[in-house]
Amino acid sequence: MSAASTGEPMGKTVSAAYDAALEVIAAVEPRVAQATRQELADQRSSLKLIASENYASPAVLLTMGTWFSDKYAEGTVGHRFYAACQNVDTVEALAAEHARELFGAPYAYAQPHSGIDANLVAFWSILANRVETPALAEKGVRNVNELTEDDWETLRKRFGEQRLLGMSLDAGGHLTHGFRPNISGKMFHQQQYGTDPTTGLLDYDAVAAKAREFKPLVLVAGYSAYPRRVDFARMREIADEVGAVLMVDMAHFAGLVAGKVFTGDEDPVPHAHVVTTTTHKSLRGPRGGLVLAQEEFAADVDRGCPMVLGGPLSHVMAAKAVALAEARQPAFQTYAQAIADNAKALAEGFLTRDATLVTGGTDNHLVLLDVSSYGLTGRQAESALLEAGVVTNRNSVPRDPNGAWYTSGVRLGTPALTTRGFGPAEFDTVASMIVEVLSQTQPGTTKAGGPSKASYVLADGVADRVRARSAELLAANPLYPGLELG
C-alpha cells in the first residue's frame, strides 16, 4: 500500500489534526462531532462492499476542510466573475493538469460537483457543439446574444428533438444514461440497449443495429453494475457510423483506467469524444466529478458554469488535485491491479460455492450476485447481510422480475476493502461469509400472511458468527491505522 492509502500507519500529526478539528466542532455542535466519531467507528467495524464507495486518504479529507470553502469563483481559470480568485485558479489548474496527465486527455474540467453534474455538463456541451453552434453559423451570427426570440424558439425545439442511446438500468447502466424518470430521459428522446439474454454480455452488433435504426446524437457507454470490460474502440466505430457523439461515463472504473488496468481498446479516453467520471469510487478521492474531452468540445465544456453548474466548490477542487496527484504515483497502479485481482477472487469464491453471478464472473471491480437462487429479493439479501455486518447494495439484474426497488441482485465491489489491504484469500473468506448468510435467510411474510419482498428471517446465531469472522479480518486490516481520537 502507498502512503496515500489508508493501509499504512498514520503519524501522531494526523491524529492530532483530527482531534483538534473535532474539539472545535464539538464546541459549537457536539452532536455533529459525536456523529463524526461514530461514523469512523462504524466504518472501521463493517465490511464495506459497496462498489461506489472507498476510503479517501487523510490528505484528501483534510484538504476539504479549509477556507477555500468560503470563496465564490464562477467562471474559469483566469476568467472569473468574482475578484481575488488567484488561489482558486491555482488549485483548479492543478486538478485539471493532474487529470490530463493521469488519463492522457487533451482537456479536463474539474468543476462538476458530482457525477450527475459531470454528465449534465457533457450533455449540454454536446448539444451546444452539435446543435447550437451550427445554428449560429446558419444565422451568420457570432454568439448566442445576437439571436432573436424567434431564433431561440427554433433553437429550443432543436435542443428538444435530439436523441440519446444508452445502456439500460437493469443491464448495468446508470440513471443518467437515459432512464426515463431521470433528467437525461426527459431532455432527450431516448432508447436503451441491453445485454445478451443468454450470456448477460454486451452484444455490439445489437447495439450497432439499434444505433442505425434510432440514429442518436449521443451514444452513451459505461456502466454502474456491469461486471465486464467494454470495447470502446468498437463503440466509437458504432458512433462514427451513425454520426453520433460517443460519451463514456467511467465513474465506476476510472481508477482502473488511471491505474493502467484498462488499456488499449478498454481505455475510453482515446476513443470517446467526451468522458465523465466521479473522483471518489475507485479513484479514492473526494466526492465530485470531472469531464475529460477532445479539444473540439473544450470550449463548450468550459461553459459548464453558468450553463449547468453554480459556483465551483473550490475546497473540493483542491482535494481533487491532491487525490489525482496520489493517483499519479506508481503505487496506485499496484492498487488498481489489486482491485481487479480481488474482484476475480471474490467471484471465484462465489462460483465454487454454487452462487449465481450475472455474466458468470467479472473482469473489473465488481460482482453482481443473483440472489433469486436463494429464494430472496435483493432487498432481503441486502438487509440480512447488513445485520451480519456486511455492507452491500441491492441492484437490478438483466430483465429483473422484481424491478428496481426490490431487485433480484446484490452488487459487491472490491475498491474499499482493497484500500484496507484485503487480498484474494480474504475475499474468498468474504464470499464464504456472504453465502453462509444468504443460504440461511428465508423470506418473511406480510401482515396479511403472504410472502414478503422486504422482510426476512435470518437463522439464529448466523449474524453473530459472521460478525466474529468479519472482526478478525478487519482487525488484521485496520482502517486508518494509527489514527486514534482522544
Catalytic residues: 72, 74, 249, 278, 281, 287
The phi and psi torsions of 303 (rounded to 5 degrees) equal -90, 10
Compute the distance between CA of residue 218 and CA of residue 187 in angstroms, rounded to an integer: 12
Contacts of 8 (CB under 8 A, 6+ apart): 1, 2, 481
Chain-centroid distance of CA 208 in Å reads 26
**CB 389 within 8 Å of CB 466:** yes
Contact 101, 328 (CB under 8 A): yes
274, 126 contact by CB (below 8 A): yes
- Angle made by CA atoms 17, 19, 22, in degrees to the nearest 5: 110
Q: Is 382 left (phi over 0), alpha (psi -120 to 50) or beta?
A: alpha
Closest CA to 109 of 288, 333, 236: 288
Q: Are strands 356-357 and 366-370 parallel, antiparallel or unpaired?
A: antiparallel
Q: Up-side HSE of residue 399: CA atoms within 13 Å toward CB?
A: 7
Question: Do the Cβ atoms of 362 and 228 come closer than 8 Å?
Answer: yes
For 336-391, give the DSSP string.
HHHHHHHHHHHHHHHHTTT-EEGGGS-SSSEEEEEGGGGT--HHHHHHHHHHTTEE
- 309 sits in the region (left: phi over 0; alpha: psi -120 to 50; else beta) called beta
Q: CA 257, CA 88: separation in Å to the nearest integer?
A: 27
Rounded to whole angstroms, how far apart are CA atoms 272 and 246?
Answer: 5
Q: Which residues pair with 275 in a beta bridge?
A: 248, 292
